[in-house]
Amino acid sequence: MTDRATEILAGSKTIAVVGLSRDPAKASHGVAAVLQAHGFRIIPVHPSADELLGEKVYRSLTDIPEAVDLVDVFRPAADTPPIAEQAVAIGAKALWLQQGIVSAESRRIAEEGGLDYVEDRCTAVVRAVANLSVR
């Protein structure tokens, strides 16, 4: 049986990664690189970088000029409610807070906005367990 997180990731092709680090040793960089290597379109969101993983970086979700399926968040829980609001505003299909990140407020915002919601799970682990690729 497939769990909901797997279904959400399987239904996503374009993933905005909020908090994607410039540092290849950081989890956000490694996870995004793995997803990209498996065919997912990665759109980095970072306050000051211009390019990460070969992709143009945007300052916020609302600056992204294309449709986003999934917003994958690598930020502290306290920072996530405004990100949830932006995810709703851009019409993303889902909001995903990475492993170790839990926010009742972000869940409420996402669910009231009609988004699927996952928290405290790693997209790369879910991808690996389900052997998901976009090709």
If the chain, 135 residues long, is cut into consecutive pieces of 10 residues, what is the mean pLDDT of each piece?
A: 88 97 96 97 97 97 98 98 98 98 98 98 97 89
Q: Is residue 124 part of a domain?
A: yes
Return d(Cα 37, Cα 50) in angstroms, integer: 20
Report the C-alpha gap between 99 and 123 in whole angstroms: 8
8 inside domain = yes
pLDDT for res 135: 72
**């793995």: which residue's tokens?**
34
Evaluate whether residue 14 is within a structural domain. yes
Domain of 61 in residue numbering reads as 4-130
* Domain assignment of residue 105, yes or no: yes
Query: 84 and 64 in contact (C-beta within 8 Å)?
Result: no
Judge whether 135 lies within some domain: no
The CATH number linked to 58 is 3.40.50.720
49 by Cβ neighbours in 10 Å (0-12 / 13-18 / 19+) ranks as middle
When divided into structural domains, the chain yields a total of 1
